[in-house]
Amino acid sequence: MRAFSLLLIAVVALLAIRWFRPEPAEAAEERLAPSEAGVRFLPPPGEAVKAAAPAAPTPVDGEIHVSEEPGVADAWPANLLSTKDGAEDEVRVAAALLHGTPAEVQAAAASFPKDRALLLESFSWAAAGERKLALSLSEKIEKESVDERERVLFEAVLTGRAPVPAVASVGPVALAMEMSLLARQANQALLARRYVEAAGAYSRLLIGEIGAPWPAERRLLAEWTKGLDEAQREHRWHPRGEWPAAETKIVSGDTLIGIRLRYLSEHPGAKMCTGLIERANRIKGLLQPNQVLRIPTEPVRVVVDLGACWALFFIGDEVAAAWPIGIGRPGEETPVGSFTVRNKLENPPWMKEGQDPIPFGDPRNPLGTRWIGWDKEGAKTSYGFHGTWDQQSIGQAASDGCVRFLNSDVEQLFQILPEGAPIVVQG
């Protein structure tokens, strides 16, 4: 009996050696070879020699179509986003990547191929600061089965290096990944007091969010607006900021009105107001002889996004200020289209057709402390920007069609927005 037991043990040992023998060290090393970013991906099963890249498949309905036209997706205008009917899954996952938690990304990407879903979940964990967990998940991914741009963005979130800008249109998922990386860059730049970089990054985030195919997240818009305000305080709204300007030296008797008129005579077609000069130069009190003022030379405009309930004030192509707004209620919707600033009133009365004017300060007057009226193709309209006493209506569809601001916000806009400046209202 003892001899039989020894024989049985020997047979079991031989079988264990045969079936559980570890792979050669070289094979293990090759299988777990790190990429440039130190991220380990599994090669496809049975891969011996890297095959030539296959031709791009013909897109079908529901897929993301990527344009081959050159361009850089820096500010992500809407025409750079490749979407078409049937891409709801892409948009849902993109929104989860930028707005949600790793668990929400995992749930949203459940319908994606396994490796892509793992890559996006790994990205979200890395963006949340869980680098080790992200690396652990990434080891299960077959490198060749994931989109190259998405893989590059994943490596960027792990390494902290900025990815090379895309040279073609991007789909919603890659856009959300780029914006997530840009948000981190903006925060880091602001903490490091690199205000020009931070202002540009927050500007691109705000433009990207209101132009994206997913619904804008007001929590993030508020966060990025706060960051923008801090950065622009030391950039666009600082007399020594790095922004294009015409300089003028103050002589005895100069006033801001005179300086504005002189600038406009030298720059036909420009739109300028004294408040813009005042704020850009941080003027407080009287002008001093020999003082040098800088006058912004880039055109200004306002973009109103009704879906996001947010307004952006541009100087040139950069957002210099932004605010939450209220818009027209159902049946009295704020019209979309292009307008210009017609007039500006402090402490405005409220005038409604067929009724006597209601003076400022009357509880029945809803206009707040400022009114900025709109023209449409040279004709007066009944629409405009105004303040409100009802703070709860900001972010809501509650007005008679006009765009509402908090009083403190409309007073800022009133100061810096010249008459004749363009306004774009988009849905």
What one-character-per-residue DSSP string does 241-303 give?
A: SS--EEEEE--TT--HHHHHHHHHHHSTT----HHHHHHHTT--S---TT-EEEEE-S-EEEE
Residue 65 has pLDDT above 50, yes or no: no
How far is C-alpha 195 from the geometric centre of its chain's CA atoms? Answer: 17
Q: Which residues pair with 405 in a beta bridge?
A: 387
Whether 238 is a known active-site residue: answer no
Out of 99, 235, 273, 386, pick the active-site residue.
386
Q: What angle do CA 89, 90, 91 make, to 5 degrees?
A: 90
Of all residues in the chain, the percent with pLDDT exceeding 90 is 70
Domain extents for the chain?
78-217, 245-296, 300-426
The tally of CA atoms less than 13 A away on the side-chain side of residue 366 is: 15
pLDDT of amino acid 357: 87
Of the candidates 386, 392, 395, which has an alpha carbon nearest to the alpha carbon of residue 307? 395
Whether 386 is a known active-site residue: answer yes
pLDDT of amino acid 167: 65
Instruction: Match domain 300-426 to its CATH number in 3.30.70.100, 3.30.360.10, 2.40.10.10, 2.40.440.10.
Output: 2.40.440.10
- Of 54-58, 309-313, 330-334, 422-426, least confident by mean pLDDT is 54-58
Q: What is the pLDDT of residues 219-252, one digit of tens each?
A: 999 999 999 999 999 999 999 999 999 999 999 9
Residue 319 has pLDDT above 70, yes or no: yes
Q: What CATH architecture does domain 245-296 belong to?
A: Roll (3.10)
How far is C-alpha 410 from the geometric centre of its chain's CA atoms? Answer: 23
Are residues 399 and 393 in contact, defined by beta-carbon separation less than 8 angstroms?
yes
The chain-wide mean pLDDT, for the chain, equals 84
